[in-house]
Amino acid sequence: AAGVIQSPRHLIKEKRETATLKCYPIPRHDTVYWYQQGPGQDPQFLISFYEKMQSDKGSIPDRFSAQQFSDYHSELNMSSLELGDSALYFCASSRQYPYEQYFGPGTRLTVT
Amino acid sequence: AQSVSQHNHHVILSEAASLELGCNYSYGGTVNLFWYVQYPGQHLQLLLKYFSGDPLVKGIKGFEAEFIKSKFSFNLRKPSVQWSDTAEYFCAVPAEGTGKLIFGQGTTLQVKP
């Protein structure tokens, strides 16, 4: 079965640089979620999109922005990167209720 | 606000021992509940889910969970763990209306061979 695809899998950036993470949801899933997971922590919700419209927003810094495109893939844009942005970034997709989410393999971002 | 609490943060078991991980949620309305597993260095995988009906649900890899509405609990169980079950386990509920997952703090399970 098709799964959630994320690219790149690993990304190394320097402070103040910009990064773009991509997510391709499972076919026919209309909702995409982004989560950030620091070392030894539970995933923290960043932002979600339903039918290409932002549906919810969590603790996402103003330096980050995201959107969902007409083909339902989503991109998370991160600017002015800081050392504290180093984390695993997961994308998940689902249909609407009951929100059964499937996660992608994640992008490991390292900011040096 | 909805919240999820996992009681056991670090559990160490020997192979063939039985497992029970506690999970409590705060929301009193219609609840959908999930357990996810994260093997070392990997992404979160859906272990099992509860939406309605039989409160005893079975998931992959021999795991099961029991939903007890009166106790606001959804505990994960496995009769006999294996070394390969070593992983982080997260209980989660979707937020009402948007579905963003609210995770518990996670439980690190270490199974000794």
Span B77-91, pLDDT tens digits: 999 999 999 999 999
Closest to B51 measured CA to CA, from B70, B71, B65: B65
B85 within 8 A of B39, measured Cβ to Cβ: no
* pLDDT tens, chain A, 112 aa long: 789 999 999 999 999 999 999 999 999 999 999 999 998 899 999 999 999 999 999 989 999 999 999 999 999 999 999 999 999 999 999 987 778 999 999 999 999 9
Percent over 70 (pLDDT), chain A: 100
pLDDT of residue A32: 96
Burial environment of residue A31 by CB neighbours within 10 A (0 to 12, 13 to 18, 19 or more):
buried
| Residue whose pair of structure tokens reads 């810094």 in the numeric block | A61
CB contact under 8 A, B98 and A100: no
Confidence of residue B101 (pLDDT cuts 50, 70, 90): very high
> Residues A61-71: pLDDT tens digits?
999 999 999 99
Say whether residue B99 is in contact with chain A using an 8 A CB cutoff. Answer: yes
| Residue whose pair of structure tokens reads 């998931």 in the numeric block | B59
pLDDT of residue A40: 86
**CB nearest to B32's CB, from A33, A50, A98:** A98
Contacts of B104 (CB under 8 A, 6+ apart): A42, B4, B5, B6, B23, B90, B91, B92
A107 within 8 A of A11, measured Cβ to Cβ: yes
CB contact under 8 A, B100 and A48: yes
Q: Quote the tokens at residue A72.
A: 């339902």
Sort strands B56-58 and B10-14 into parallel, antiparallel or unpaired.
unpaired
